[in-house]
Amino acid sequence: MKRITTVLLLGTAAVAFAQGTTFLTIGSGSTTGVYFPVATGMAKMINDAGQGVRANARSTGGSVFNLNALASGELDAAIAQNDVVYYAYKGSGIQAFQGKANTKLRTMAVLYPEVLHVIARKDAGINTIADLKGKRVVIGDLGSGTEQTAKQVLEAYGLGFDDLGQALRVSPAQGISLMQDKRADALFYTVGVGASAISQIAQTVDVKVVPVSGNQAASLIKKYPFYVRYNIPAKSYKGVGATVPSVAVQAVLVTPTAVPEDAVYKAMKAAFGNEAELKGLHPSLAQNFSYEKAVKGLPAPLHPGAVKFFKEKGLNVK
C-alpha cells in the first residue's frame, strides 16, 4: 500500500492530485479462475467511486502466494481460501506458514464457496479419487490453495503426491492444455462453480467430475474443519449431467491491519455497498453472497473498516 500526497504545479494553479490517496493492490489468482474476475470487478468499483482509494487486481498463483505477499507488504489485499487464511493467521497447518503466524491479517468479507473440482478425462479410467494412483494429475499452481486441498483430499484416500504417476504443479491455463493434449489424466482445482478453466476443459475434452464423498469426505472434514460437503449441481459444465458430491471451502477477502480503517471502509462501501452490482461480477457471488454470510465463519478477525461497514448494514459484528 502506498499513501501518496502529490501536488502538481500547473502554471500558477496548484492542483492537488491524488491527495491522500491510498493505493490497494489486490492479489487474486489465475485469469481463468474466479478470484481474478471478482478482484478486477471490485477494483473497478473502488476506482469508479472516486473516494480517494485506487485499486488494481493482480493475477497470482493463488492463496498461499497471496498470503505470503500480504505478509511481505507486496500486496495490500487479497482473495484466498478461508482454510489457508486461517493457517497463515495461526502460523500452522501447512509447511509454508509454519512458525510464521501473521497475526496482522484481517478479514474484509467472506465471499462464496470454492468447490473442489476433480476433473478426469473420460478415457483415463478414473472413477474415484483412489483411481488417481499412478495417473498424471494437475495438483494446482505453485503457491495455490488448490495444491493444499489436493494434498489433504488425497490423504483422506490414503494417497500422497508420491503415489501419482506425475504431480503436475502448473497454472490452470497450462492445466487446460495438458488435459486437451492428453498429457494429464486429471486436474484438481479449488474454485467457484462456473470457473472458466473448468468450462473450457469440459467444452473441449470428454470429462467426468470425480466425487469426494462417503467415509473419506467425513474423515477429511473431521481433520480439517473448514471443509463442508458441497454438491456440484448437474449441468454446471458441458457433459456433466448429474449432481456430483464434493467438498468446499470459502473464498475470503483479506487485508493487513496496516491498511487504515478509512481506506478499508471506503473500499468496502464501493465494492460491497451495491449488492446487485457485486453479484453481477460472477455467478458464484450471485448465487451465494449475502451480508449475513459475509461475516460468518471468519478465519481471522474483521478489519475495523469492515466492522464499520457491516454495522451500517445492521449486522451485529465486532
What would the x/- binding string for ligand GLU be over residues 66 to 85, using CB under 6 A? ---------------x----
Which helix (DSSP H) or strand (DSSP E) does residue 4 occupy? strand 2-10
Which one, 108 or 263, has the nearer CB to ligand GLU?
A: 108
Concatenated DSSP letters for 160-182? -GGGSSEEE---HHHHHHHHHTT
The reply to whether 35 sits near ligand GLU by the rule CB under 6 A is yes
Instruction: List the x/- string, 186-225, binding to ligand GLU by CB under 6 A.
Output: ----xxx---------------------------------
Window 230-259: contact mask with ligand GLU (x via CB under 6 A): ------------------------------
Q: Which is closer to ligand GLU, CB of 24 or CB of 197?
A: 197
Under 8 Å between Cβ of 99 and 91 = yes
> Which of 86, 90, 93, 26 lies closest to 297 in space, CA to CA?
86
What's at 77, amino acid-wise?
A: A
Q: What minimum distance in Å lies between the beta carbon of 100 and ligand GLU?
A: 18
Contact map string, positions 147 to 186, toward ligand GLU, x by CB under 6 A: ----------------------------------------
Q: Does 145 bind ligand GLU (CB under 6 A)?
A: yes
CB of 114 to ligand GLU, least distance (A): 5
Which residue has the closest beta carbon to ligand GLU?
29
Q: Which is nearer to ligand GLU, 30 or 255 (CB)?
A: 30
Closer residue to ligand GLU, CB minimum distance, 22 or 284:
284
Task: Cite the DSSP H helix spans in the chain.
Answer: 35-49, 63-72, 82-90, 146-156, 172-180, 196-204, 214-223, 261-272, 275-279, 283-288, 291-294, 304-312
Q: How many CB atoms lie within 10 A of CB 164?
A: 20
C-alpha to C-alpha distance for 143 and 131, rounded to whole angstroms: 26
How far apart CA 272 and CA 73 sit, in angstroms, is 24
The three three-digit cell numbers of residue 32, written as one number: 481463468
Q: By CB under 6 A, name the one of 27, 41, 62, 256 that touches ligand GLU.
A: 62
Least CB distance from residue 149 to ligand GLU, whole Å? Answer: 8
- Contact status: 305 vs ligand GLU (CB under 6 A): no
Q: With beta carbons less than 8 A apart as the criterion, state whether 81 and 250 touch.
A: yes
The backbone torsions φ and ψ at residue 317, rounded to the nearest 5 degrees and listed phi first, read -130, 160
The minimum distance between CB 205 and ligand GLU, in angstroms, equals 20
Report residue 215 as a C-alpha cell: 467415509
Instruction: List contacts with ligand GLU (CB under 6 A).
Output: 29-30, 33-35, 62-63, 81, 114, 140, 144-146, 190-192
